[in-house]
Structure 1
């Protein structure tokens, strides 16, 4: 541990209290860990109750902070990125110097296409180092990048092109799945056709070719008069490197569209200065990761976790980040994550609970773990879905490290609640997301917006304004939409859309989205609490509980279950056991009698279970299959499985093209 990587004095309680009582001093001090072209004279500028900014007057470059300063500090030969592709059986390492040089050259490529500060660049790539290179190159010259998850449907890609209006699209010939390849270039071409006039601002498509996937820029060159199709490597070899451009602290760094968006997309805008300060602080104080240490974040750069803790956070900290192209199971086995930890001596693993449940389903005894040396691992962080206590205990007992359930959102950019390992390791409570992080003033509000923050009182989780550095700046294209979406429901607060409660020790339990709290005959029940009960059964691998319409009670709870592989329990026995468990631990008020056993649950690519879509199917409502769904075929299998539990649903279905 280097001298600059030391826990804050006074412990968690004192640190958080100061962050709320002395915002100015706290965040100006945190800003000293960042390299500024022009240092800010103040931390917070509040212009109105719903209008504030961080580090006004300050100027910096995020890319220079992530790369150049580490090279200048003598760490140029340290690994910045380790690219591990389980689907191509290949590994590449880029040192900080190599990454800086590649980024500078690709920034020159963008500049040669007329990209300047404020222009948008859409990045549509698989999990390859070039995705990070493109992001950082945009940051280097002040372009605003918008990363779209690789393989997204053409119409969804078109919607994002139409909203962000990029000057350049950066893409790849395609992505590689365990059993197939996904060609991106036909999807990009189709998206541009759908956009029509909206695509008129796109001047170039830059293509990174992959040997395993057909298609190249040359195949599409000349297909349109106004858009140039350019080969990445050729352009990079001919470009002059670009120097980092100093930018105002509130200059937008990126636009990230929230997962599951349909219709008019909601582009979350992140600023440069606040985000840099917040992530620099979080890497040190929450994740306890510093220069030379390795973090393995098993996510995708298309999601906020990938932005914050695959690309920007680790590089700002001077750490080594692993870009992993593969799955938790099937590439080739449920020991994939343990192999990566072993190979690169990762100190921290950050993944989604759904990935752990997939591993647990395939290898409940963790036999694959015993074939790898994971002694370098100091903590497992999980976010993205509710972490059920059974999986929490399974992971903690198997890995013998703290399991940190941290809760946050695309909008906040970094954890609202966690266990701050870099300050002090607090007690761990399975089922809880631990405590609010410094900077976040978390409150529980009733439906009328009254503050009812008391131990055990359930309500709407809200964040008292102003939000800390790193949170969203606005919604792209509409300041009013930002206010209407997040700040209007409870004036003076940011509405998270989640429900929960604090315990006597100040630990927050997130019950789920407010629409996941169901009303059964006048009794409010958390579907998350019901799921905790179901996962206690030895045969259950994963579950989802939804509230379905009931003519007598208004709603009743229904459970959807996947079983661990190798489970010999008969389905009817498992269902009877689960109904009994809920009756014993929740009570008959839950009116729980519907159990459907399925092979897989419908999920987004980021691991979120599509509970709303499931409820709409069961209730016979019209529904849309989100573009973010991992496998649309799971919906068909779900409808077939429902015939054994419910009467066959009558639905009007809109399936988005792929």
Structure 2
């Protein structure tokens, strides 16, 4: 049911599972929210019981934003892979499907049960151990969306290795820099990749270029995805299948402290060097699993599909860790929304009877342009909740998503969060929240957003608009920038003392709804991917004919923001079509295709 108040549509919850929803109405939301902010330690101690602990924590939280010190569940001992796999099998659910893999080719798919996942994860954990990987070692993963990626992640967590996943479209230069920043001991990749019409993405050969200058790498494990011929360096490079054939499928999980590192994930900063966001074990898993269950109203038996790439935080938290900790069936998709046609998402929804669907506004804008026929020819009656992530969603695509994809019967959870936050911070809840197209609505439990003016004063009244910050910590919060805690403090805590500054602007309307207005620092949001202007400027400046470059964002119909580059060439150099192409290629080479400028303007 829709109301229009002050020209803004308000959608009352119209949720088919409302009667059994975890949070059935706003009264329940407010009651739990109040408790979560008045007694955060008591609240999060209660939520932490959702995991299996080898030893309970000594203190729930120990946080100080003025010193950039964040600790949750100190003294607690657990293992992530045990919580995502073993405990479900011990409870009698070993035959339940854990992972549905949908290949790029619509005729290729695969299912892995919880028992099968544990067997594969244990085998690869033993492979890593037999090649000298131990607790605390960093493991780089550079893959497309294939099941071995999920297996490799969980295998790292089983033995306490710290994974660093590099998005499969990143260039050799970007891969090399990320390997070297955290001194990874091994790299896991694949021969070549398939994605959409690309049938031969050069994964191993890209990795080989990166590995020319990565002194810490001792071994490379290569998954055979396509069977393409690739070069294999004797003794260093090992075939995944050969290693797995000889591996034992029993590997006891290593006891980890709640504050031991779980993974590093690089994200763009406002300076040129990407930041290695460090997440730890206990608090992250509590937060990822709790938000996954509440925000999507996950119920046992639901088929859950987040369309993100695991190379980004959304894939870490809401394809792997949150869903598997909750014993969900999670779908992993190798392909793209427009292959073999623009109906692929909805074909997959129909094929696998997907109940919860989570995607990015960029994808929706691209699909909306192609008309409704690609959507309506597929049965979407299984869907009960729709979600969006990565950037603010505008009203036209929100309405299209609601009316056409969701047949005006599915609540939309428009979620706001960041790589740094580990999980969702501001969001509607399916059965409880009246939604407004484009608003992330209200804070999740335990989350205390504030709007600050440029001097750091809190703006208390509604409506208000300014800079979005967080007043208190939550368990999923990042703990540091790998190897550079000073930069962590400088980036997030130095500007406004006692607050975590998100880098985003926001407004709160008269009803208290939060609307994210976009980045206020030198970071662009292109198709839901964060790109630092300094990083792109540096890549353009690496072209020998470029004297200087300045990069800004501009409104883009599909990507949300596009990359607009102002370029000054060296004296005496004339701008030609070749120069334009070469500059774009230089950016692709140094960062990846997703950072390539949409428009280049040459300045005198």
Structure 1 equivalent of residue 359 of structure 2? 351
Q: Give, in whole Å, the separation in 1 of the partners of 2:29 and 2:221.
A: 47
Q: Which of 256, 265, 273 is residue 264 of structure 1 equivalent to?
A: 273
- Aligned residue for 2:564, secondary structure, equals helix
Structure 1 residues 13 and 340 mapped into 2: Cα distance closer, same or farther (>3 Å)? same
Matches of 1:617 and 1:393, distance apart in 2: 39
TM-score (norm 1): 0.78
**Residue 108 (1) aligns with residue 126 (2):** yes
Q: 1: distance between equivalents of 2:54 and 2:299?
A: 23
420 and 207 in structure 1: CA distance in 2 versus 1, 3 angstrom threshold: same
Change in 2 beyond 3 A, CA 1:427/1:295: same
1:645 corresponds to: none
What do the CA deviations read for 1:405-428 (whole angstroms, capped 9, x no partner)? 11110000111100123xx42101
Q: Which residue number corresponds to residue 599 of structure 2? A: 638
**What does residue range 305-344 of structure 1 map to in structure 2 within 5 Å?**
305-329=314-338, 331-344=339-352
* SS of equivalent residue, structure 2 residue 309: coil
Aligned to 2:239: 231
Structure 1 SS opposite 2:503: strand
C-alpha distance in 2 between matches for 1:288 and 1:513? 29
Q: Matched residues in 2 for 1:507 and 1:126: separation?
A: 37
Is residue 447 of structure 2 the alignment partner of residue 440 of structure 1?
A: yes
1:285-296 correspondence runs (5 A)? 285-296=294-305
> For 1:52, what is the secondary structure of its paired residue?
coil
Aligned match of 2:412 in 383, 399, 403? 403
In the alignment, what sits opposite 2:207?
188
Indicate how the Cα distance of structure 1 residues 560 and 265 shifts in structure 2: closer, same or farther if over 3 A, else same: closer
Aligned residues of 2:97 and 2:111 also touching (Cα < 8 A): yes
> Could you say which residue in structure 2 is the equivalent of 1:28?
45
On the 8 A contact 2:55/2:77 being kept in 1, the answer is yes
Q: Which residue of 1 aligns with 2:33?
A: 16
List per-residue Cα deviations over 1:577-613 (Å, max 9, x = no partner): xxxxxxxxxxxxxxxxxxxxxxxx6x5xxxx634xx3
1:206 matched to 2:221? The reply is yes
* Contact preservation (8 Å) 2:268, 2:275: no
Q: Distance in 2 between matches of 1:46 and 1:212?
A: 50
Partners of 2:133 and 2:99 lie apart in 1 by 26
Mapped partners of 1:474, 1:8: distance in 2: 36
Compute the displacement of 1:190 (Å): 1.1
Alpha-carbon distance between aligned partners in 2 of 1:614 and 1:48, rounded to the nearest angstrom: 36
Tell me, in whole angstroms, the C-alpha distance in 2 between the residues paired with 1:559 and 1:209.
Answer: 41
Task: Tell me what 2:94 maps to.
Answer: 76
What is the deviation of 1:213?
Answer: 3.6
Q: Distance in 1 between matches of 2:522 and 2:162?
A: 35
Given the alignment of the two structures, is residue 127 of structure 1 paired with residue 142 of structure 2, yes or no? no
Aligned match of 1:591: none
* 1:446/1:460 contact within 8 Å kept: yes
The whole-number CA distance in structure 1 between the counterparts of 2:90 and 2:553 is: 58
- Secondary structure, counterpart of 2:421 in structure 1: coil
Contact 1:151 1:175 (C-alpha < 8 Å) held by counterparts: no
1:514-543 alpha-carbon deviations (Å, 9 max, x no partner): 1599xxxxxxxxx99xxxxxxxxxxxxxxx
Match status 1:449 vs 2:456: yes
**Structure 1 residue corresponding to 2:564, chosen from 605, 614, 631:** 614
Between the aligned partners of 1:404 and 1:160, the Cα distance in structure 2 is 33
**What is residue 650 of structure 1 aligned with on the other side?**
603
Distance 1:513 1:631 in 2: 18
Q: Secondary structure at the match of 1:189?
A: helix
Q: Which whole-Å CA distance do the structure 2 matches of 1:97 and 1:334 have between them?
A: 35
> How much is the aligned-residue C-alpha RMSD, in angstroms?
2.8
Equivalent positions of 1:432-511 (< 5 A) are: 432-465=439-472, 467-511=473-517
Any stretches of 5+ residues in structure 2 without a counterpart? 1-16, 526-532, 534-551, 570-574, 576-582
The equivalent residue for 2:155 is 137
Q: 3-state DSSP class of the match of 1:236?
A: helix
Residue among 247, 258, 263 paired with 2:256: 247
Deviations 1:552-577 (A, max 9, x none): xxxxx997565xxxxxxxxxxxxxxx
Match of 2:193 among 175, 187, 198: 175
> Matched residues in 1 for 2:31 and 2:322: separation?
24
Write the distance in 2 (CA, Å) between the matches of 1:495 and 1:387: 22
What's the counterpart of residue 545 of structure 2? Answer: none
Q: Does residue 373 of structure 2 align to residue 367 of structure 1?
A: yes
The secondary structure found in structure 1 opposite 2:603 is: coil
SS in 1 for 2:189: strand
Q: 1:52 to 1:460 in 2, by over 3 A?
A: same
1:445-474 per-residue CA deviation (whole Å, 9 max, x = no partner) reads: 111111113212211100113x20011011
Q: Is the 8 A contact 2:83 2:325 kept in 1?
A: yes
Partner of 2:178: 160
Is residue 46 from structure 1 mapped to residue 63 from structure 2 by the alignment? yes
Identify if the C-alpha distance between structure 1 residues 202 and 92 changes in structure 2 by more than 3 Å, giving closer, same or farther.
same
**Cα distance change on mapping 1:275 and 1:561 into 2, 3 Å:** closer
- Deviation string 1:352-384 (CA, Å, 9 cap, x unpaired) is 000001110112xx2122222211111111011
Q: Quick one: distance in 2 between partners of 1:272 and 1:374?
A: 36
Separation of aligned partners in 1, 2:513 and 2:522: 20
Greater relative CO, 1 or 2 (CA 8 Å, sep 6+): 2
TM-score (norm 2): 0.84
CA gap of 1:101–1:369, structure 2 versus 1, over 3 A, is: same
> Hey, what's the Cα distance between the residues in 2 that align with 1:617 and 1:395?
38
2: CA distance, partners of 1:560 / 1:233? 46
Indicate the SS of the match to 1:614: strand
Partners of 1:513 and 1:560 in 2: CA distance: 13
1: CA distance between counterparts of 2:554 and 2:158? 49
Q: Equivalents in 1 of 2:62, 2:72: separation in Å?
A: 6
Task: Assess if the C-alpha contact under 8 Å between 1:461 and 1:495 holds in 2.
Answer: yes
Correspondence list, 1:537-556, <5 A = none
Count of aligned residue pairs for this structure pair = 541
Task: Give the match for residue 431 of structure 1.
Answer: 438
Distance 2:32 2:476 in 1: 18
1:541 alignment counterpart? none
Separation in 2, partners of 1:177, 1:288: 31
The one-character-per-residue Cα deviations of 1:75-128 (angstroms, maximum 9, x if unpaired) are 111111110013473101000100011000000000011111100000011000
CA distance in 1 between counterparts of 2:38 and 2:203 reads 50
Provide the rounded CA distance (Å) in 2 between the counterparts of 1:649 and 1:318: 54
Match of 1:338, SS state, is helix
